[in-house]
Chains A and B, each alone.
Chain A
Amino acid sequence: EADIYQTPRYLVIGTGKKITLECSQTMGHDKMYWYQQDPGMELHLIHYSYGVNSTEKGDLSSESTVSRIRTEHFPLTLESARPSHTSQYLCASSGLGSGNTQYFGPGTRLTVL
């Protein structure tokens, strides 16, 4: 079944640790996105990719980095986590067959102590 997956769903980690949030999709989409959402607030785009080896920063400045080595995989990395990174991170994809519609994964709730 075509879907978009994120792991882990929940992560509690100490300050200074390096973390990678995984995002994979089996939708056959070429475009992928990372959004950040704080409770009760709107989603903000932090990274996007239009294809393999293509990555761009979004509208909200973020200390995280992303890579796109395979079409279906778009991981997000924080080299040194801080409490200010505590948030919900949502991955999305779009592409041929979806029109302009972005489809979202279930999200990763990150808490940095």
Chain B
Amino acid sequence: EDQVTQSPEALRLQEGESSSLNCSYTVSGLRGLFWYRQDPGKGPEFLFTLYSAGEEKEKERLKATLTKKESFLHITAPKPEDSATYLCAVQIYNTDKLIFGTGTRLQVFP
């Protein structure tokens, strides 16, 4: 069964304290892995797409990496405005459907 698991469920960081979020997946065939940011009461905002193991992408304080079984979202020197829920989703080969994890709720304190 295709499945996405994110950990931790919640993460509290001090401003400037770097950390990583994990997304583990089991799928029959991976077409792509997506990271989104979701603020309370809003729709998910696209961050990154990763297609193959070894691929990395960066945007400001965020860096996403991909292996054959999991993806990490590294947050370097986070700021309070990085507080949000980060969602991971996988797209199965030959479909457009996304399977989402439950997300990691990140809180960054000044």
Contacts and interface: CB of A to CB of B under 8 A. Distances in A.
A92 B44 CA distance: 9
Given A42-B101, A42-B103, A43-B87, A100 B41 contact: no
Interface string B1-26: 00010000000000000000000000
A58 B32 CA distance: 19
A59 interface: yes
B65 interface: no
B41 A90 contact: no
Interface stretch (B52-60, B66-74, B75-83, B90-98): B90-98
Report, as a range, how many residues of chain A touch the other chain.
20 to 34
B7 to A, nearest CB: 14
B34 interface: yes
Contacts of B46: 101-104
A26 to B, nearest CB: 16
Contacts of B97: 45, 48, 58-59
Contacts of A107: 41-43
Contact of A106 (B4, B42, B102, B103): B42
Contacts, number: 53
A82 interface: no
Given A100-B91, A104-B44, A48 B102 contact: no
A110 to B, nearest CB: 13
B63 interface: no
Given A42-B101, A45-B97, A48-B96, A99 B49 contact: yes
A24 interface: no
B43 A45 contact: no
Interface of A: 6, 31, 40-45, 48, 50, 58-59, 90, 92, 94, 99-107, 109
3 closest pairs, A vs B, by CB? Answer: A104-B43, A42-B100, A43-B100
Interface of B: 4, 31-32, 34, 36, 41-46, 49, 87, 89, 91, 96-98, 100-103
